[in-house]
Amino acid sequence: MSNNKSYRRFAPISALLLLLMAGCTHMTKQAPRAFTGYMVQQKLPLKVGVNITGELLKAKGEYHLQGDVWITPIGGSMATNAPVLARQVFADVVEMSNGRLPANQSVAAILTPRVAYITRTVAATRGGESIMDIKVEWTLADSKGNTIWVNTIDGRSIGTRGSLTEDLAWEALENVLLKSQTAISSAQAIRHFVQRQSP
């Protein structure tokens, strides 16, 4: 009898402990938004297709802390921001999905972003440094698929253990986008390609 009572008494506690030990998965719910803080610049006279791939849309980062997992679906934000960024750099931009152009459209080059790496380090102490790092690989290829330019841009933000993952991710993404704008617009290989395209 007393054993049964003990079981009944400790069963909820055991269940709670198991639940706590199992940890939780948290999904960052921040909706993708467009970054608007680009530098104003003269646009390159080129019609470019921005290729949003399924792989990009699925890209996500995972942050593990004390058994909990925070998932940051960065792919959606990149897919939203890649065309916006391209419009800052190129005169004409067409959005593509998985390499397919919209009907009756043609482009001189195709710009494809890919999230090469995303992580957030775990701080050892509450006030310790936690780094969010995102690396995005940009590939610009001509209409035949020949690579004109490729570069991997690194963006990061630094917070503490208590910093919200979505805030750090957004800050790192802003960093990536600003650096990407500079890298694409200043790339000599792209400028040469633009010159060759001009009549």
Partner 1 sequence: MKNLVHKIASSGGTVSRLNRATGLGCGRLGNFGRLAGPENRAVRHLGGCVSGVSPTRPTMLISCNNSGRFPLYGVDGNVRRMERNMNAMIRARSTMRQVTLAALGGRSLRLPGATAAGIGCQITGPGELFHHTLEFRPYSQQKAEHNHAPQPSDQSSTRNQAHRQAIMKSKTILLSTTTSTMLLFFASGCSTMKVPPLTTGSAGSYAQHEQKDGLVVGIQPMTDKREINDMFKVDLLDKGVLPVLIVAENQSASASFIMARDKISIQNEATGTASSSQRGKVTSGTGQALETTGVIMVGLGPLSLATAVVGLPLASVGMQKASSASVIEFNLADKEFYSSTLGPGAKAQGFLYYQFPKGSPPSGIFHVVAEIKNPASGETTAFDFPVNITPSH
Tally Cβ neighbours within 10 Å of residue 164.
12
User: What is the closest distance, in whole angstroms, from the C-beta atom of residue 3 to partner 1 in the complex?
Assistant: 13
What the block records as the tokens of 20 is: 């706590």
Q: Does 99 help bind partner 1 (rule: CB under 8 A)?
A: no
Query: Stretches 12-20, 27-35, 95-103, 182-190: which one binds partner 1 (CB under 8 A)?
Result: 182-190
Q: Does 7 help bind partner 1 (rule: CB under 8 A)?
A: no
What the block records as the tokens of 12 is: 């909820």
Q: Does 52 help bind partner 1 (rule: CB under 8 A)?
A: no
Q: Does 58 help bind partner 1 (rule: CB under 8 A)?
A: yes
Alpha carbons 176 and 134: distance in angstroms, whole number: 7
Phi-psi group of 121: left, alpha or beta (phi > 0 → left; psi -120 to 50 → alpha; rest → beta): beta
Alpha carbons 127 and 184: distance in angstroms, whole number: 36
Q: Which of 44, 50, 59, 94 touches partner 1 by CB under 8 A?
A: 59
Alpha carbons 23 and 63: distance in angstroms, whole number: 13
User: What is the closest distance, in whole angstroms, from the C-beta atom of residue 104 to partner 1 in the complex?
Assistant: 29
Strands (E), 30-146: 44-52, 61-65, 68-72, 90-97, 109-120, 130-142
Q: Does 116 help bind partner 1 (rule: CB under 8 A)?
A: yes
Q: How many residues bind partner 1 (CB under 8 A)?
A: 48
| Residues sharing a CB contact under 8 Å with residue 160, sequence separation 6 or more, in sequence order | 123, 126, 127, 128, 129, 130
User: What is the closest distance, in whole angstroms, from the C-beta atom of residue 128 to partner 1 in the complex?
Assistant: 4
User: What is the closest distance, in whole angstroms, from the C-beta atom of residue 18 to partner 1 in the complex?
Assistant: 14
Question: At 166, is the secondary structure helix, strand, or coil?
Answer: helix
Q: Does 155 help bind partner 1 (rule: CB under 8 A)?
A: no
User: What is the closest distance, in whole angstroms, from the C-beta atom of residue 21 to partner 1 in the complex?
Assistant: 9
Q: Which of 35, 90, 149, 170 touches partner 1 by CB under 8 A?
A: 149
Kindly list the residues in this chain that would bind partner 1 in the complex (CB under 8 A): 2, 23, 55, 58-67, 69, 71, 114-125, 128-131, 133, 135, 137, 139, 146-152, 154, 187-189, 192-193
